[in-house]
Structure 1
Amino acid sequence: MSAPLSPDHALIAHSTQPLNAEPPLHRLRANFRTQVADFYIRSHGDMPHLDPATHRVRVAGRVARPLDLSLGDLQAGSAPKNVMAVLQCAGNRRADLQVVGCTSGDHWAPGAIGHAEWTGAALADVLHAAGVSETDGLHVAFEGADVAENEGAEDAPYGVSIPLAKAMSGDVLLAWAMNGEPLAREHGAPLRVVVPGFAGVRSTKWIRDIRVQDRPSDAFQQAHDYLLFPPDMRAATQDPIRGVTIDEMPLNAAICEPAPGSSLPEGSTTIRGYAIATDRAIARVDVSVDGGRQWRQATIEDHGGARWSWTFWHATLDLLTGEHELVVRAWDAAGQTQPALADDVWNFKGYLSAAWHRVRVVVL
């Protein structure tokens, strides 16, 4: 059962050991740049306590000059880079898939997502300084200082990887600040990786080891866990060979206000939410008050259109007395939209839940 973390903390905890929590959706929608107190927390084990003065990050593997860097070394090495970017758990909106069939993992509502300004050193600059071999087919593996609790396997240091081409894109950071403040412990202090456009699992917190290699990481999170499996597969029959690695996130949209189960007065109601399309712009957002039979176009709010940002939208509609199923769907710049039903994207891991988002309300 989800519960508030504490009377003075806005987040709702799905689990406390390890800590996994998301904000109430009205708090998520309150600011285009998500406040740290409203940013979801995803942990795979106990959060380490690291001393910023002594913590080191190693860079090794297919590089000419292996490095051993402190936070001070990274901050002094080049001008810091700021990137506005969304981080989103691959299990965001898993609760919608749970309605279709049993899934593993925490039952996230649409709040396992947040948008912040990240400050740090470009990973590409660090790899260049190490004399990286920019050869096709290479990968950059990350290891955190945390020990992950791995379902069905031994606990081990958290590890993932991304293709070298993504690592060298310029916007991937070794970040030490979030919204202009040093990282909080729960968000990876003193250093974390931020991989814009990829599932949050790739943005390793408490980073301690970076290795350029000729294959993806063989750590549990990369090789066995964060995979999209076909709908016929179950936990007892899972086969990593049939899984698709989850990197880029799908087109998605969610209603943040009103909340599910709200009782509303008859008449004008404003519906608010977010939409996200990874590296494409959101071209249109449609809203329905009758389960998707009729649609009205929502207003897309202008917040500058940064490449890795999300999109806020709103629509003011008249609601008559009775029960209503509010629905949202988004369209991206390529003319793609979302599947209508959660049944269409169900998988036993509960990843990439991106069907139309539905909220039931009662008008009195």
Structure 2
Amino acid sequence: MHPGGYSRLESCQPYGKFTLYAGVSLVSVLLALSQPLSLVHIGHHDEHDSGHTHDGSKDINTSDAPPPPPPSTSGDQRDPSLPRFRLADVRKHDANSGSPWVTSGDKVYDITDWVAAHPGGDVILRAAGHSIDPYWAIFTIHKAPHVREILDSYLIGFVDMLDLDTSGQPKIAAGEAVEDPFADDPTRDKRLVVLTQKPCNAEPAPPQLARDFATPNELFYVRNHMWVPVVEGAEADQHKLTVELPDGDVRAYTLDELRTRFQPHKVTAVLQCSGNRRSDMTRAVGKTNGLQWGTGAISNAVWEGVLLRDVLADAGLRAARIDGRPKEEHKNNNDNDDDDVPPDGLHVQLTGMEAYAASIPLPTALDPRGEVLLAYAMNGEPLPRDHGYPLRAIVPGFVAARSVKWLSKIVVSDEESPSQWQRRDYKLFGPNEGAAPDWDRYPAIQEMPVTSAITGVWVGQSAINKAIKDGSLPQRETPTLSPGLGSRAAPGVRDLAAWQAEWKQQHASPKDKDATPVTATGYAYSGGGREIVRVDVSVDGGRTWDQATLLDQKQAHYDDETDRQKGNIVARGRRDFAWKRWRYDGLLLGGDASPAEVVVKATDNAYNTQPERHDGIYNVRGNLATAWHRVAIERNGRKDAVLHGCGFDKECKK
């Protein structure tokens, strides 16, 4: 949810074709216009500041441009106190001039001070001398009211009437149509379910999602805010990462240096978007703003790179000990602790080539148990372009928004990243906080809560056998009925095995159709390195429960020679940053005509568990939709069951 109550992407449908006009190659977006007002100091200039009038309004910077010609005022009803400019004069104020201008509609803006004042200001220079409207046509984030307020503070005049068409918009000169900025994006796997094409946001369908412990690279969900930067193979080794420390020291590393100078490290970790299952929350409670993800905005991979803490130490960061660890265990230990930087209160700002930025607390970066990586490989291969090639951050156990792709800059600072995505996105609000929440009131999402989801349900032995044959159904060593304890639980909740036995006892001549085999599969995950210890499954909407079998116990704890010889992909790392897939085998009772609802919930080793409903955790942004996942089974005597629910072809019926 963005300021003003609008969605960052107003539709989950692919963007249609468009024609852009700017006169220059469109290679970046005006990101910084989406920053909080406090960060650009609008309306708070001292009356003696250079470049501003006594009342705080902006002087027109025309020192290197000729005086504007007498304006054409015929039929001009616009503010007569502001000058008119010909488009030819606007074009002289391009990125190479000392005073860059842009236009929006029929208005002219001098953004000179903005470029100097804002950390992302150099991005806007791509549109200098031309219109910024083509950018806003692609990225509706810039249509928020607060963004217009920022831009209007730099208004210096209007486009001359001679350069306006009959609709009052600037005339487009021949040859000013520019290329599609997404033209060089990589080709995606056709099995991905596309939510938006430009930028690409796509998720694997449930049947593919949890087939493998490590998600194949081509099926790993794609979350892009912009187009994918182009880095040619020959350029990748020389890709530069700069590291800036609190004292202002800057150190630069090439990708080749990172590979050769530091010890490589592997960690198996899930990346999950905060909006995973947002469509479930929308359907259950009400409208949410953002991409309407199903169950697939999550994937698991083996990442390889170098530890961020090693690079920070090499760059010269001397941080005090954290988490009470003995002095001799501290990577940057020295004899003079008085010179060490206290990590509490500091942040590691991470910025990508396309200007996306986020940050994590410095203690997270330094904690050896956190295993924060600067990654250059994924599942044994170089990073795919969609996933950060040639270098990205991996912050295990944290929301994926902190694992910045196409990483180019790191800054250790006393404040978190000033970016839109850190301060005005990826936060959680109360159910009653509406379309214009107080973004400064709550911290950014970091560690992820416990969650689980159903990725497949097969009803009837023939459907189960078919799924086994085509590889859709993950295997376990003993595919028998999941182990029920056979005893009663608390009033109103009974163990499924006991209930099944009781049901059969009450029916003198049960027929085959009265007990239909059912198999369900899915994933479970908890952030912060917390291990999933139990997955509970119900096939009657939550009246009775049984426990699923966790499939990835071995992968999560062993890395022996036998596994390597068999080619098994195993979890790497000190903590449980990977997901656990699960499988449940049971019976549906009541005959073919009876509807059923499969429900799943997970519990981690801190005994955190999922909330039953989305009502209590509803937030207008639709983040962290972690309520029990429910999938309705519509049998009705049909040969194949029809599934309704988040992530499946049909949604749940009310």
**After TM superposition, is the score higher than 0.5?**
yes
Answer yes or no: is 1:242 the counterpart of 2:441.
yes
Counterpart contact for 1:2–1:15, Cα < 8 Å: yes
Indicate the residue corresponding to 1:21 in structure 2.
202
Paired residue type of 1:257: G
Q: Quote the offset at 1:342 in angstroms.
A: 1.4
Query: Equivalents in 2 of 1:131, 1:339: separation in Å?
Result: 45
Counterpart contact for 1:63–1:130, Cα < 8 Å: no
Counterpart contact for 1:63–1:132, Cα < 8 Å: no
Indicate the residue corresponding to 1:173 in structure 2.
373
Answer yes or no: is 1:206 the counterpart of 2:406.
yes
Which moves more between the two structures, 251-260 or 210-219? 251-260
Q: Quote the offset at 1:74 in angstroms.
A: 0.5
Counterpart contact for 2:349–2:357, Cα < 8 Å: yes
Task: Name the SS of the counterpart of 2:306 in structure 1.
Answer: strand
Alignment coverage as a number of residue pairs: 350
Q: Which runs of 5+ in 1 are unaligned?
A: 147-156
Indicate the residue corresponding to 2:547 in structure 1.
297
Answer yes or no: is 1:39 the counterpart of 2:220.
yes
Query: Equivalents in 2 of 1:223, 1:78: separation in Å?
Result: 33
Q: Quote the offset at 1:264 in angstroms.
A: 7.0
Query: Equivalents in 2 of 1:205, 1:97: separation in Å?
Result: 28
Counterpart contact for 1:229–1:244, Cα < 8 Å: no
Q: 1:80 aligns with which of 237, 256, 264?
A: 264
Counterpart contact for 1:144–1:204, Cα < 8 Å: yes
Answer yes or no: is 1:113 the counterpart of 2:298.
yes
Task: Name the SS of the counterpart of 1:326 in structure 2.
Answer: strand
Indicate the residue corresponding to 2:315 in structure 1.
130
Answer yes or no: is 1:334 the counterpart of 2:334.
no
Task: Name the SS of the counterpart of 2:424 in structure 1.
Answer: helix
Deviations 1:215-248 (A, max 9, x none): 111111001111111211223x221122332000
Task: Name the SS of the counterpart of 1:126 in structure 2.
Answer: helix
Indicate the residue corresponding to 2:133 in structure 1.
none
Indicate the residue corresponding to 2:421 in structure 1.
221
Answer yes or no: is 1:94 the counterpart of 2:345.
no
Higher Cα Rg, which structure: 2
Q: Quote the offset at 1:46 in angstroms.
A: 1.2
Deviations 1:273-305 (A, max 9, x none): 111122212121111111111111111122332
TM-score (norm 2): 0.52
Q: Quote the offset at 1:71 in angstroms.
A: 0.7
Task: Name the SS of the counterpart of 1:21 in structure 2.
Answer: strand
Query: Equivalents in 1 of 2:384, 2:367: separation in Å?
Result: 26
Identity, in percent, stands at 42
Task: Name the SS of the counterpart of 2:303 in structure 1.
Answer: strand
Query: Equivalents in 1 of 2:367, 2:555: separation in Å?
Result: 21
User: After the TM superposition, which residues 350-361 of structure 1 pair with which residues of structure 2 at under 5 Å, given as runs?
Assistant: 350-361=622-633
Deviations 1:246-278 (A, max 9, x none): 000001010011289xx9796111110111122
Deviations 1:168-187 (A, max 9, x none): 12310110000000011100
Counterpart contact for 1:104–1:349, Cα < 8 Å: yes
Query: Equivalents in 1 of 2:263, 2:188: separation in Å?
Result: 40
Deviations 1:162-208 (A, max 9, x none): 00011112310110000000011100000000000000000000011
Paired residue type of 1:354: T
Let me know the Cα RMSD of the aligned residues: 2.1
Answer yes or no: is 1:315 the counterpart of 2:584.
yes
Query: Equivalents in 1 of 2:290, 2:613: separation in Å?
Result: 21
Q: Quote the offset at 1:61 in angstroms.
A: 2.9
Counterpart contact for 1:10–1:37, Cα < 8 Å: no
Q: Quote the offset at 1:79 in angstroms.
A: 2.1
Counterpart contact for 1:196–1:308, Cα < 8 Å: yes
Query: Equivalents in 2 of 1:334, 1:57: separation in Å?
Result: 37
Indicate the residue corresponding to 2:452 in structure 1.
253
Paired residue type of 2:358: V
Query: Equivalents in 1 of 2:434, 2:596: separation in Å?
Result: 34
Q: Quote the offset at 1:331 in angstroms.
A: 1.4
Query: Equivalents in 2 of 1:143, 1:41: separation in Å?
Result: 18
Paired residue type of 1:222: Q
Q: Quote the offset at 1:8 in angstroms.
A: 5.4
Deviations 1:2-29 (A, max 9, x none): 68x9895221110011110000111111
Indicate the residue corresponding to 1:144 in structure 2.
352
Counterpart contact for 1:64–1:132, Cα < 8 Å: no
Q: Quote the offset at 1:334 in angstroms.
A: 2.2
Query: Equivalents in 2 of 1:341, 1:102: separation in Å?
Result: 16
Compared CA separation, residues 208 and 8, structure 1 to 2 (3 A): closer
Query: Equivalents in 2 of 1:244, 1:211: separation in Å?
Result: 20
Q: 1:186 aligns with which of 386, 403, 412?
A: 386
Query: Equivalents in 2 of 1:114, 1:167: separation in Å?
Result: 22
Relative to its length, the structure with more helix (as a share) is: 2
Counterpart contact for 1:285–1:298, Cα < 8 Å: yes
Task: Name the SS of the counterpart of 2:602 in structure 1.
Answer: strand
Paired residue type of 2:191: A
Counterpart contact for 1:291–1:327, Cα < 8 Å: yes
Answer yes or no: is 1:280 the counterpart of 2:549.
no
Counterpart contact for 1:229–1:242, Cα < 8 Å: no
Query: Equivalents in 2 of 1:227, 1:52: separation in Å?
Result: 34
Task: Name the SS of the counterpart of 2:599 in structure 1.
Answer: strand
Which moves more between the two structures, 7-16 or 205-214? 7-16
Higher RCO structure (Cα 8 Å, ≥6 apart)? 1
Paired residue type of 1:344: G
Compared CA separation, residues 7 and 206, structure 1 to 2 (3 A): closer
Q: Which runs of 5+ in 2 are unaligned?
A: 1-11, 15-185, 320-341, 465-512, 557-570, 638-654
Compared CA separation, residues 61 and 78, structure 1 to 2 (3 A): closer
Q: Quote the offset at 1:355 in angstroms.
A: 0.5
